[in-house]
């Protein structure tokens, strides 16, 4: 089971901060972050890679789904 963080409609840096909080809280779980801006995808990707996590991104009709795991 994975955790879902819905950061759609939020401006940076808020999606990154939400992702940071989720990673610290759910370290061993896969986290799915939902965003609706390409810049949020890029910022979150830079952050999670710097923390040693992997990220897969898929685009859908509502924006982007980012799957983050250790």
**Segment 50-61, tens digit of pLDDT:** 999 999 999 999
Residues marked as catalytic: 12
Total-model pTM: 0.93
DSSP string, the chain: --EEEE-TT--TTHHHHHHHHHHHHSTTS-EEEEES-HHHHHHHHHHHHHTT-EEEEEEETTEEEEEEE-
**Segment 1-47, tens digit of pLDDT:** 789 999 999 998 999 999 999 999 988 889 999 999 999 999 999 99
Query: Which pLDDT score, from 0 to 100, does residue 1 have?
Result: 72
Domains and CATH numbers, the chain: 3-69 (3.30.110.40)
């Amino acid at each position: 089971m994975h955790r879902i963080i819905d950061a759609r409609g939020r401006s940076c840096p808020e999606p990154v901060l939400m992702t940071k909080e989720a990673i610290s809280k759910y370290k061993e779980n896969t986290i799915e972050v939902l965003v609706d801006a390409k810049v949020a995808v890029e910022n979150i990707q830079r952050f999670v890679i710097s923390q040693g996590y992997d990220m897969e991104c898929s685009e859908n009709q509502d924006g982007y789904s980012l799957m983050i795991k250790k």
